[in-house]
Amino acid sequence: MIVTFDRHLRTRGQGDTHDITETVAAAVTESKLAAGVAVVFVTGSTAAVTTIEFEPGAVADFAALLERLVPRHAPYKHHERWGDDNGSSHVRAALLGPSLSVPFRAGKLTLGTWQQIVLVELDVEPRERAFVIQVMGE
């Protein structure tokens, strides 16, 4: 059994990190499936999905790491191509990946108490983000 959920949210630009745990948990509940996997996938090449303890300190630390590893203001060949300036966004997204698979059982995600599912905006402008939650199970 598979139930697909389309979800959207509005972001404020690079580093903006959204806790989507409740959205994913609600999709699992709505699917009425007991056990399986929720695959969270963000559409687009300048955002990512991962888990983190969603408190402002850790979230800021993660954004700071990305800025240190892949600086926003640096020469990117992608800029030459399109005249835009989100080369850092594309590279960060390829590094982190667009997808996360989270098991559930008894209708509940197997997350830790301090482990939240986040959608990380990596693009340099605010965006309307679409993501898919594919709930597969029985």
Q: Which residues contact a second copy (rule: CB under 8 A)? A: 1-2, 4, 35-37, 39, 41, 43-45, 50-53, 55-58, 60-62, 64-65, 69-70, 76-82, 87, 90-91, 93-103, 105, 110-112, 114-116, 118, 132, 134, 136-138
Contact (Cβ atoms closer than 8 angstroms) between residue 18 and residue 119: yes
Give the CA diameter of the chain.
Answer: 51
- Of 8 and 81, the one with the shorter C-beta distance to a second copy is 81
- Of 26 and 111, the one with the shorter C-beta distance to a second copy is 111
For the bound state, the minimum distance from the C-beta of residue 14 to a second copy, rounded and expressed in Å, comes to 16
For the bound state, the minimum distance from the C-beta of residue 12 to a second copy, rounded and expressed in Å, comes to 19
**132 to each of 38, 56, 74, 85, 105, how far by Cα in Å?**
10, 25, 32, 27, 20
CA 65 to chain centre: 16
In the chain the first and final C-alpha atoms are separated, in Å, by: 6
What length is written for the chain?
Answer: 138
Q: Which tokens hold the place of 62?
A: 């993660």
For the bound state, the minimum distance from the C-beta of residue 27 to a second copy, rounded and expressed in Å, comes to 12
- Of 29 and 101, the one with the shorter C-beta distance to a second copy is 101
Q: Are strands 108-109 and 116-121 parallel, antiparallel or unpaired?
A: unpaired
- Of 23 and 44, the one with the shorter C-beta distance to a second copy is 44
For the bound state, the minimum distance from the C-beta of residue 90 to a second copy, rounded and expressed in Å, comes to 4
